[in-house]
Amino acid sequence: MKYSFPRLFAALTAALMLGFASAPLPAQSITVVSWGGSYARASEEAYHKPFTEETGIEIRLEAYNGGLAQIRAQVESGAVFWDVVDLELADAIRGCDEGLLELIDFADLPPGADGSSPEEDYYPETLSECGAGTLFYSTVYAYNSDVITGEKPETISDFFDLERFPGRRGMRRSPQVNLEFALMADGVAIEDVYAVLDTEEGLARAFRKLDTVKDQIVWWEAGAQPPQMLADGEVVMSTAYNGRIFNAQVLEDQPFVIVWDGQVLDSGPMGIVAGTPRLAEALEFVHFVARPASMARITRYIAYSPVRKSAEALVSTHLETGVEMRPHMPNTPEHTERALRNDWNWWSDNADEMNERFIVWLSQ
């Protein structure tokens, strides 16, 4: 197999990590890999602790910043020490195609809260052969209202407007979502974004728009970074995951404002690393998380919404503060009026090429 340099470098880096793998897990334990920060804490309360209490299976939690490199290195070396991984949907599809993830039988997932079958209850495109969807989340941008005190940004175009809103911007060090934001800010209709991205002219247009803010960007990699950057005044606005901003608002009383215009809505599945010797326990955990009650439970800790229709009626209030959670969910009619649904199929086909092009652009 021929590898590009960035992909080969990532794979070699991940392979080196195998030498630092944790000690073997005790019996009846699994390693679950997630995104860290407030989302990981919410997962521990909503998924991990109740699962251990019910089954006796302990969970070791590890964090990562996404991608398949570490999973690929484990599977190809035959030294699998991760069991269940919280994935981006495009990575779940690619990982399945590469044989990096175990197959998951939809029929084995729990029924809906109303007794409906999983395939009826899950929203479209939230299930794949190798991943069971857990929640909807969105990439938005947010600003600190104590820093921007005059005119307020309201549209995705405002994020790129350095004249009206001067100051540094936080953006994830990834082409995904940034290219979509750039095209929407440049006037491309939401329904046309991926058709435009599918052309050389469209890609050049997206990178030209990113060029307009490039020297003002502070790059982030972990989801916990944007709220901290906003709180410290390191940036005046930043792209971020909506749930991380919500938690900063309600738990830390941060004066952050989410701009929902142009949000990129996505769903996150859980996949099982191929070849894990703890397959039965990993499947048990995935099935537990797939329960409508489990999906509703995590909304008591963070503003990510269930991908099962029957779970939506179970959404109530934030456990610690009593805040009504439904208005803060990314898939409400008000928030999705100007939302772009992430095209996982496009990213699954084009991720390697886009990552290489993005790395070249960063170096210029």
Residue 351 sits in a domain whose CATH number is: 3.40.190.10
- pLDDT confidence tier of residue 8, bands split at 50, 70 and 90: very low
Sequence-ordered list of residues with C-beta below 8 angstroms from that of 99, at least 6 positions apart, any chain: 75, 274
Specify the higher pLDDT residue, 209 or 5: 209
Mean pLDDT of 105-133: 94
Residues 303 and 193 in one domain: no
Is residue 109 within 8 A of residue 288, CB to CB? The reply is no
Inform me whether the pLDDT recorded for 20 exceeds 90. no
Q: How far is Cα 188 from Cα 193, in angstroms, rounded to an integer?
A: 6
Residues 100 and 116 in one domain: yes
Mean pLDDT of 200-214: 98
Helix (H) or strand (E) holding 208: helix 200-211
User: Which pLDDT value is given to residue 303?
Assistant: 97
Residues 170 and 292 in one domain: no
Residues 130 and 158 in one domain: no
Residues 188 and 317 in one domain: no
Q: Which residue has the tokens 């142009």?
A: 262
Residues 63 and 180 in one domain: no
7-11, 67-71, 246-250, 318-322: lowest mean pLDDT where? 7-11
Residues 330 and 237 in one domain: no
User: Which pLDDT value is given to residue 37?
Assistant: 87
- pLDDT confidence tier of residue 132, bands split at 50, 70 and 90: very high
Task: Please give the single-letter amino acid code of residue 210.
Answer: L
CA atoms within 13 A on the CB side of 264: 23
Q: Which domain holds residue 20?
A: 5-136+267-336
User: Which pLDDT value is given to residue 103?
Assistant: 97
* pLDDT tens profile 179-197: 999 999 999 999 999 999 9
**Rg for the chain, CA atoms, rounded:** 20
Angle at 180 between CA 198 and CA 135, to 5 degrees: 110
Residues 282 and 226 in one domain: no
Specify the higher pLDDT residue, 19 or 97: 97
Number of domains in the chain: 2
Residues 142 and 207 in one domain: yes
Q: How far is Cα 272 from Cα 262, in angstroms, rounded to an integer?
A: 32
Task: Please give the single-letter amino acid code of residue 356.
Answer: E
Inform me whether the pLDDT recorded for 18 exceeds 80. no
User: Which pLDDT value is given to residue 353?
Assistant: 96
User: Which pLDDT value is given to residue 11?
Assistant: 42
Inform me whether the pLDDT recorded for 273 exceeds 60. yes
Closest CA to 34 of 89, 74, 85: 85
Residues 356 and 311 in one domain: no
Residues 118 and 54 in one domain: yes
Residues 224 and 294 in one domain: no
Instruction: Judge if pTM exceeds 0.95.
Output: no
Mean pLDDT of 45-50: 98
Inform me whether the pLDDT recorded for 315 exceeds 50. yes
Give, as one character, the DSSP assignment of residue 323: -
Closest CA to 351 of 66, 13, 138: 66
Q: Sign of the C-alpha dihedral, residues 350, 353, 356, 358? A: negative
* pLDDT tens profile 326-344: 999 999 999 999 999 999 8
User: Which pLDDT value is given to residue 27?
Assistant: 56
Is residue 105 within 8 A of residue 219, CB to CB? The reply is no
User: pLDDT above 90 covers what percent of the chain?
Assistant: 88
Closest CA to 67 of 217, 160, 176, 197: 176
Inform me whether the pLDDT recorded for 151 exceeds 60. yes
